[in-house]
Amino acid sequence: MVTLAVLAIAVGLAVPGFQALFANNQRAEFSRELYVSLAQARSEAVSRNSLISVIPIDGDWLNGWQVIVDDNGDDAPDALDLNADGTLVADAGLLSEVAFTHLNIEWISEFGALPRIRFNPGGRVIDAVGVIVCGSTPANSREVTARPAGLLRLRDLGDDSARYASLCS
């Protein structure tokens, strides 16, 4: 009986720690995946000399996203956006397979939550954007930004978090 009581106490103490660890890992994975997808989209835009869009799955970034050739600019994968062999640009390597259901993300853009992030054939971002992946405290938050010149940045907010505290409340 004493063993069960000690075990129950240990589990009770460990669960909140595991929840925090899970949340931190999910924040880190979302921001890394988005950063890598944006870098890949920029590279594809330059190498293909095409408009490349990163679009959310089912209109929600937390469901994941696709990277597509979007020469017609309609923000959707379609027959006009196919590779020479008839396949979509978005494949297993370009599609985020992780759903981020319990995250709080805030977009820093004059457009609010963007329906897409686009790179022109020169690798420049058409609409500059930043996304804050909010942590339990602003200091635990992460930021992914895409500047107009195509510069991408991923960082922990840490000491700079006070500037963004109102976004993650």
Per-residue pLDDT tens digits for 25-58: 778 888 898 899 899 989 989 998 988 888 887 7
Show the domain range for 160. Answer: 2-51+100-164
Specify if 45 maps to a domain. yes
Instruction: Report which listed range, 85-94, 99-108, 118-127, is most confident.
Output: 118-127
Specify if 79 maps to a domain. no
* Between 48 and 4, the higher pLDDT residue: 48
Query: Three-state SS for 131?
Result: strand
Total domains in the fold of the chain:
1
- Which token pair is 110? 């004059």
What local confidence, expressed as pLDDT, does residue 42 receive? 92
Specify if 59 maps to a domain. no
What local confidence, expressed as pLDDT, does residue 57 receive? 79
Specify if 71 maps to a domain. no
What local confidence, expressed as pLDDT, does residue 62 receive? 79
Specify if 42 maps to a domain. yes
What local confidence, expressed as pLDDT, does residue 124 receive? 94
> CB under 8 Å to 41, separation ≥6 — which residues?
52, 53, 54, 67, 117, 119
Specify if 75 maps to a domain. no
- pLDDT above 90 for 140: no
Q: How far is CA 150 from CA 89, 136, 147, in A?
A: 20, 30, 5
